[in-house]
Amino acid sequence: MTGATSADSAGAARPARRPLRLPTTWIGIAPFAAFAVLFLILPTLNIVLGAFRTPEGAFTLGNLAGLFTPQILGPFWISIKLSLISAGLGCLFGLLLAAAVTRGGLPPAIRSALMTFSGVASQFAGVPLAFAFIATLGRLGLVTVLLNELFGIRLMALGFNLITFTGLVLTYLYFQIPLMVLIITPALDGLKREWREAAESLGATGAQYWRMVALPVLWPSLLGTFALLFANSFGAVATAMALTGSSLSIAPIILFAQIRGDVLGNPHLGYAVAFGMIVITGLANLAYILLRARAERWLK
């Protein structure tokens, strides 16, 4: 009896084996994982390795040295300046729009319409966006013709040309401003009403509240969004190609010229250009992630 009891106790103490189950919970993200590996990770690794190889496959630093030639460095500086200006203006006007619909007392329908438009416009880029601006502000665009016929204003005579740096900045703002509205609106909603009431009870004006309370709290979000808008503008290629062609040399256009495969291109120099763009946009996105995390801690 004692032996049987001990055996029963040992069997009871032994944990029951769980049936073998397939990891079905991971099946849902399998398509995304496959897409990321095939179209993001593997191409990125190929670019990084190609930037350090010769056409024969030997290791070299000559491709990276080619980035510092005037033919490549100049377009990089133009792209950086274009990204800084479009990101700065996008942050400014986007913040004003978001503040108007969240703190300005406007009807809720206006906020709903603005958020819906921002969600669409922030993804509207490439050839359709370039065509829309050419049809609106080009030499024979609708607005250009109307200003000339109705008011005698000739935009070309005033120095405006859509196929220039200024025109490209204006075009980029079409998707930069809505993206800023989408990102900064939740941060504005996170500003607590008690902070405004406390500031007013201490005698602060509206301007003082924004300068001493709201903007310091929003500062990490603003800087993070600026970094994201910078990366968004720096990597845009289809809009610039369709709008300016080869008349304005920026980094994405130089990259396209190097890897498209004609006799003048150098694919491995193109890999180096792409590697430089990856580094710049990666740093901008890293800054956005870090600042966004800090901003979320402030708004909790």
**What CATH number is attached to the domain comprising 213?**
1.10.3720.10
Domain membership flag for residue 136: no
CA separation, residue 237 to residues 173, 234, 258, 277 (Å): 15, 8, 14, 12
* 234: pLDDT strictly greater than 80: yes
Domain membership flag for residue 224: yes
User: Cα–Cα distance between 148 and 213 in angstroms, integer?
Assistant: 47
User: What average pLDDT does the segment 259-273 reach?
Assistant: 73
| Residues with Cβ within 8 Å of residue 162, at least 6 apart in sequence | 133, 134, 137, 138, 141, 170, 171, 243
Domain membership flag for residue 35: no
The parent domain of residue 185 ranges over 70-122+162-299
* Tally of structural domains, the chain: 1
Average pLDDT, the chain: 84
Q: Would you say 298 and 219 are in contact if contact means Cβ atoms under 8 Å apart?
A: no
Domain membership flag for residue 239: yes
Q: Does 265 or 116 have the greater pLDDT score?
A: 116
User: What average pLDDT does the segment 104-116 reach?
Assistant: 89
Domain membership flag for residue 57: no
Domain membership flag for residue 112: yes
pTM for the whole structure: 0.83
* 204: pLDDT strictly greater than 80: yes
The pLDDT-based confidence of 259 (bands split at 50, 70, 90) is: confident
pLDDT of residue 116: 93
pLDDT digits (tens, 9 = 90+) for 2-54: 555 554 555 555 555 665 565 667 777 888 889 989 988 998 899 889 899 88
User: What average pLDDT does the segment 74-78 reach?
Assistant: 91
Contacts 24+ apart (CB under 8 A), 214-219: 217/191, 217/298, 217/299, 218/184, 218/187, 218/188, 218/191, 218/295
